[in-house]
Amino acid sequence: MLLTIKDVSSWLNIKRSTLYLWVAQGKIPYHRIHSLIRFEKHMIEQWLASFYRSSGPPLHIRRLAMDADIDALIEAAKRQAYTSRHGETITPSPTGKE
């Protein structure tokens, strides 16, 4: 059984205009029969299921790893830019002599 734009937009709880946009962008599986756009229920179900497959660790775990990487980069930059004496920045002398 083929579904219409109205059927699928109601099922997915989205605007018809959004569904037309997804069709135009090729984001959703569909069939064009002359000028009509139709959807196969099992194809839409497979398409929806593809979003639930795990593609790695949950986002909050990946975010913690990114935060740790950023913290390590900041610490490395601080070690390169600051002296151990009072946290002063290293500034070259105007004459080039130190």
pLDDT tens per residue, range 67-83? 667 777 778 777 777 76
Q: Is residue 88 part of a domain?
A: no
Is the pLDDT confidence value at 86 over 80? no
Is the pLDDT confidence value at 18 over 80? yes
What are the tens digits of pLDDT across the range 31-51?
999 999 999 999 999 999 888
Q: Is residue 92 part of a domain?
A: no
Distance CA 92, CA 98 (A): 7
Number of H helices, E strands in the chain: 4, 3
- DSSP class of residue 47? H
Please state the rounded mean pLDDT for residues 18-28.
Answer: 94
Bridge partner residues of 38 (DSSP): 31
Q: Is residue 58 part of a domain?
A: no
Q: Is residue 38 part of a domain?
A: yes
Provide the domain count of the chain. 1
Q: Is residue 97 part of a domain?
A: no
**Residue 36 belongs to what domain range?**
2-49
Q: Is residue 83 part of a domain?
A: no
Distance CA 3, CA 10 (A): 11
Distance CA 38, CA 35 (A): 10
Residue corresponding to tokens 């497959």: 53
Q: Which residue has the higher pLDDT, 28 or 61?
A: 28
